[in-house]
Amino acid sequence: MQNGQAGNLKKAEEDMFKKKEKVNDPGRVGAGRLLAWQSRAISTSVQAVLIGYLMVYCTNALGMSAALVGTLLMASKIVDGFTDLFAGFLVDRTNTKIGRGRPYEVCILGLWLTTWLAFSCPASMTMVVKCVWVVASYIMAQAIFMTFLNASNTVYMVRAFNNDKAYITLNSIGGFVSVFVVIIFNVMFPMFEAKIISSAPGWSRLVGFIAFPLAIIGLLRFFFIKEDKQVEAKSQEAVRFSDVKVLLKSNKYMYIVSLIYFVNSISGSMGVTNYYYLYIVKNVGIMGVMSLFTVIAMFTLLFYPKILKKVSITHFMQFGMLLYIVSGTLNFFAGKNLPILGIASVIAGVAALPISFLSGLLIIDCAEYNEWQGRPRMEGTLGCVTGFANKLGSAFGSFLLGALLSAAGFDGSAQVQSASAIAMIRFLFSFMMTIFGLLVAISLCFYKLEKMKPQMRKDIEERKAQAAAAEAAEPAKS
């Protein structure tokens, strides 16, 4: 009897210890903080999907040619890319009472205002005015406001959480939340799009209705998440422009990550899905319903924390890209077959999630590599170098879509498209995507920082300990 009581007492003590350990776990992210942090990601994720409809809006509501719009968007995105390095450098030099990355959260208001303006050009304007209007609004939204939001994101996260376990939770479980919202948006928006696809005023009203609440939601992170973690040494000097030059010359892994962003962005920005459902399936409204299949894929995010205890991030991403190839192959043979398109959609959803939600962790690796080599971490600049590659890929993707559709004889004003245009839409929706997936998988083979990270962190901590000991010894000498 006494042995049983002793056993129960021991078990109770162990349970109590586990509870205390869980509470004190630095990698634990509570539900409230998780939702507050993800609020901005929800807002920007919806905006990223919405801005993908800009070409359809321009061709079908404003009467602009696909080649013209593709060229304009490519030029805009190249400008967008070149603002990234400046933004990253500015963020890395920021030092305010509320933090380094946090002050830039207010850019969410400008992002949604200029996004609404991009979809609000009067159809009666001349073609020149339409071009200027769309380009100016797009550059303000993407090259200014979105650029600063992206540049500050990793900087903010590292100083608000500073823990690998927390990063994975934020990017997986948190990603589940934002994907869920995006799926709802993807289901509902095409239903409204089908009603206003050729109406410029209709697009303006619809986007305005979406923009206001999402601008408010996007600000929640700013009010509820503080930067309260010390990352770099207090004595570290401010980042100089010469540090950017050294970074560009010496961090080879940054270029591997940038290549991954570039190639993946080409496939993600082509926006051919709209055309596929409009001209192949001949029901653009059902595109939203079909996106419900990605709900199945979304649930895999909940298992990322456990999966990534056993598999490296890069190997996990490579597996995703192989699934992407399978999905593209299925799309080619699907035609109007909705069940096959649904299966391919599930596979594509599972495939895309690792790259979409874990790529930012590779940027943190690159920052630690900088620190290991005795340089400033420069998360902001690193994020913007990869952001530049991402936007360059997006620009090329938009241009490629417009150029190939025009070369194949696509005419946005025609009710029926030519056989060559239909064949091109099918190719872009399928095999073009498999090519990009294969390139990303190959690029990941050259990324070695995950294997180097334990030794890098050990060396960095030893160096910090030596510096702290030296600082403590100075007063004693004097």
How far is residue 441's CA from residue 443's CA, in Å, rounded to a whole number? Answer: 6
The pLDDT of residue 119 is 94
Sequence ranges of the domains in the chain = 33-227+249-460
* C-alpha 35 chain-centroid distance: 17
Task: Count the Cβ atoms, other than its own, within 10 Å of residue 242.
Answer: 8
Which residue type, as a one-letter code, is found at position 62? L
Q: Does an H or E element contain 291, and which?
A: none
Percent of the chain scored above 70 by pLDDT? 90
The pLDDT of residue 110 is 96
The pLDDT of residue 20 is 46
- Is 172 a residue whose pLDDT tops 60? yes
Using 50, 70 and 90 to split pLDDT, how confident is the model at 21?
very low
How far is residue 149's CA from residue 235's CA, in Å, rounded to a whole number? Answer: 27
List the structure tokens of 271: 């926006």
The CATH class given to the 33-227+249-460 domain equals mainly alpha
Q: What is the pLDDT of residues 346-363, one digit of tens each?
A: 888 888 888 878 888 888
Q: What is the pLDDT of residues 401-435, one digit of tens each?
A: 888 888 888 887 777 888 998 998 888 888 887 88
Using 50, 70 and 90 to split pLDDT, how confident is the model at 13?
low
Listed range (17-26, 31-40, 301-310) with the worst mean pLDDT = 17-26
